[in-house]
Amino acid sequence: MKIKNIIILLLVFLGYTSCERLFMKEDPEPENAAIFDHLWNTVDEKYSFFTDKNIDWDSAKDVFRPRAINAKNSIELFNVLADMLFILEDGHVNISAGIDVSRNWDWFLKYPSNFNFDVIERNYLVPSEDYQISGPIHNTIIDSVGYMYYESFSDNVSTSLMNYLVLKFLINEKEGSFEINSLEGPVAGLIIDVRNNGGGSISNAFTIANRFATDKIKVADWFYKIGPGHNDFSQAEEKFLEFEGDEDYKFNKPIVVLINRSSYSSANFFASMMSFLPNVTLIGDQTGGGGGLPINNELPNGWRYRFSSTRTLDANGQNIEFGVRPDIEVELDSVDLANGKDKLIEEAINFIKNQ
């Protein structure tokens, strides 16, 4: 009898819970309006370049909000949000969903690439007996000039690695012993190639740049977004380069930094910082820009997005969001490329050897 009663109670309970499911709704998906408003409001309060780019964000809301509300599915909604973010003209701004990642690549797609790694590898790196891949940095000596190619600031670089590379270009080998002679070492100068480097960790940029600093020198002011107004920024946070180590291991010879339109974000910061060192010359094309540190956030439907939340002015007060211009403009030549020559590297070698 007890077993029978238990079975009856279970049936009643199961029936009740089944009926309850009929009347209870699952958590509803966030409405398009809520998703749009979250994105627009967050960017409105925290994005850093509205004034610099003269962007009418209120007008963007008037245009894109009705389109977002009327979107019939996730694909349409995603495209509306992506189109709105596109007007910020910022490679650090995108939205990421399972179906796609939005992007604005106008900062490099509209310009010549001025880079061909295949030509560099086949004609400058592999044939050289000095060629090494030290951590993430390809390095060698080309016609008595040191050469380093760094593909991404996302690849970690340590101070010890930089010490090794600098010593490689400073040490004289004489009768089986090593001598340090920073004036006469095996190279006349150094090329640091950050073309097609799309950025990564800003700390790696400082690690490399600090290694080539001579005296402590101011290179930038950083401003952080701290309020909802488009011009609500913190006081300037000054940024310096400063060499730390044995004075005998400083690199005082000419340095050329090769840049192109695909030098972006941390590579853009790096080019700007290096330009303030007295022995550094920038050669190539203007960098792609990217002068704000990005932050990430999440929409109510789980999509991720990011946008720039700081401003950077170099030590001369120039906003580097719009790129850093070279001291000497050089473009790749198709005839030279066909003959295995990189015109930017050749110009850098000639420039260094003529100093």
Spell out the per-residue pLDDT of the chain, length 355, in tens.
445 554 444 444 444 444 433 333 444 567 999 999 999 999 999 999 999 999 999 999 999 999 999 999 999 999 999 999 999 999 999 999 989 999 999 989 989 999 999 999 999 999 999 999 999 999 999 999 999 999 999 999 999 999 999 999 987 544 344 444 444 468 999 999 999 999 999 999 999 999 999 889 999 999 999 999 999 999 999 999 999 888 878 999 999 999 999 999 999 999 999 999 999 999 999 999 999 999 999 999 999 999 999 999 999 999 999 999 999 999 999 999 999 999 999 999 999 999 8
- The answer to whether residues 116 and 149 touch, using CB atoms and an 8 Å cutoff, is no
The pairing of strands 94-97 and 304-308 is: antiparallel
- Helix segments in the chain, DSSP class H: 2-23, 32-46, 50-53, 57-69, 74-86, 106-109, 117-120, 159-170, 202-211, 266-274, 334-338, 343-353
- The answer to whether residues 92 and 307 touch, using CB atoms and an 8 Å cutoff, is yes
List, for residues 307-348, the tens digit of each pLDDT value: 999 999 999 999 999 999 999 999 999 999 999 999 999 999
Contacts with 172 (C-beta within 8 Å, 6 or more apart), sequence order: 178, 179, 180, 181, 184, 185, 186
Given this model, what pLDDT does residue 211 score?
96
Amino acid making up residue 37: D
List, for residues 258-292, the tens digit of each pLDDT value: 999 999 999 999 999 999 999 999 999 999 999 99
Structure-token match 């610099």, residue found: 52
* Rounded distance between C-alpha atoms, residue 250 and residue 243, angstroms: 8
Given this model, what pLDDT does residue 27 score?
46
The pairing of strands 145-150 and 137-142 is: antiparallel
- The answer to whether residues 335 and 290 touch, using CB atoms and an 8 Å cutoff, is no
Given this model, what pLDDT does residue 29 score?
60
What is the length of the chain?
355
